[in-house]
Amino acid sequence: MENNKEKQVRKQKTAAMIIAALLLISIILNVVFMLRSRNLSEDNKELTAEMDLVVAEKAEISEEKEEYRNLLDEKRREAANLEQEVKDLEEDIRAKDVRIVHLTREVRDTEKLNKLKAEHEELKEEHSKLQEKLETLNEEIAELSEKYEDLQEEYDAIFAKAEESKKLNAYNITVRNKQYRFIFRDRYVDRARRVDNTYINFEIHSSVFAETGERDIHVLLYDPNGNLMYPGTDTFEKEDETQSGYTITRNVMYEGDPVLLEFDIEHDERLDSGDYAIEVYVDGLLTRTKGFRLE
């Protein structure tokens, strides 16, 4: 009877120790989760601040670009008017030349002829000044065009950066390879021929500018020879519009908060040693890669 009581007491102590250990593990996991959430929140704030600066810079450049475009259009109109004036003067000069020739041959009135020659010289001088002004305007137009192109390139770069911030990305990829054992507890290993399952964990998140909704996640696992492992008959479309097989997939709902994902890949046959690679695609876009080695 006394032995039964002692056994019962030992069982109770064992149960209490197990419960205490579970509570301790739960507390540790909660602390880790809180720290990671705080880090993600700070990263999100930094991304939001950076995006605000990008948006402000984009608006400023757009306004400056519009001013340069208006100035460029005004200069081009002024140049067109000057070109027309130059053409008109050239026509007038040609007409004067014809009249001088006729007067030289037919008219002996020297005073009238000299007056026409003086007018002709004045027209030539005015033509020369207009020609110089036109060349100056053309140089200004070329300079403004170059500045406008630079602003357009800067605008396109900022716009591309803003669009990039809307995309979801995969963070904190971890890979664990597990061995099942019938008698002892399962354990994580790094020996290729002992691996039964591969667990892949990561988080999906983005900035505050990302749209919410369903997302298609595709995970591609490659063996040391670069071959895709366990591809099915289905495919998905990548960002470059090519079709690709995949190892495993999942559809998730993104609502603006980090989404933790875990994929379990079961290996029916023993693996070969070497370097393995993982690619993570979100809506067809390659967001992250990860490599690991099995001995």
> What residue ranges do the domains of the chain occupy?
54-164, 169-294
Split at pLDDT 50, 70, 90, the class of 220 is very high
Residue 25, both tokens: 């593990």
Give Cα 28 distance to the centre of its chain: 37
Of 33-42, 117-126, 175-184, 256-265, the one with minimum mean pLDDT is: 33-42
Query: Tell me, what's the pLDDT at 1?
Result: 53
Split at pLDDT 50, 70, 90, the class of 237 is very high
- How far is residue 57's CA from residue 43's CA, in Å, rounded to a whole number? 21
Residue 243 clears pLDDT 90, i.e. is over it: yes
Whole-model pTM above 0.85? no
**Residues 6+ positions from 73 with CB-CB distance below 8 Å:** none
Average pLDDT over residues 100-129: 76
Split at pLDDT 50, 70, 90, the class of 78 is confident
Of 20-34, 68-82, 239-253, the one with minimum mean pLDDT is: 20-34
Mean pLDDT of the chain: 82
Of 102-111, 127-136, 175-184, 278-287, the one with minimum mean pLDDT is: 102-111
Q: What is the pLDDT of residues 31-68, one digit of tens each?
A: 666 766 666 666 567 666 767 776 777 778 778 778 87
Which fold does the domain 169-294 belong to in CATH?
Answer: Immunoglobulin-like (2.60.40)
Query: Tell me, what's the pLDDT at 109?
Result: 65
Query: Tell me, what's the pLDDT at 57?
Result: 76
Q: What is the pLDDT of residues 134-173, one digit of tens each?
A: 888 888 888 888 887 887 887 777 766 666 666 788 889 9
Of the chain, the percentage scoring pLDDT greater than 70 comes to 83
Backbone angles phi, psi at 190, to 5 degrees: -125, 15
Higher pLDDT, 98 or 250: 250
At what angle are helices 2-106 and 110-164 packed, to 10 degrees? 170
Average pLDDT over residues 16-28: 78
State which of 20-34, 143-157, 233-247 shows the largest mean pLDDT: 233-247
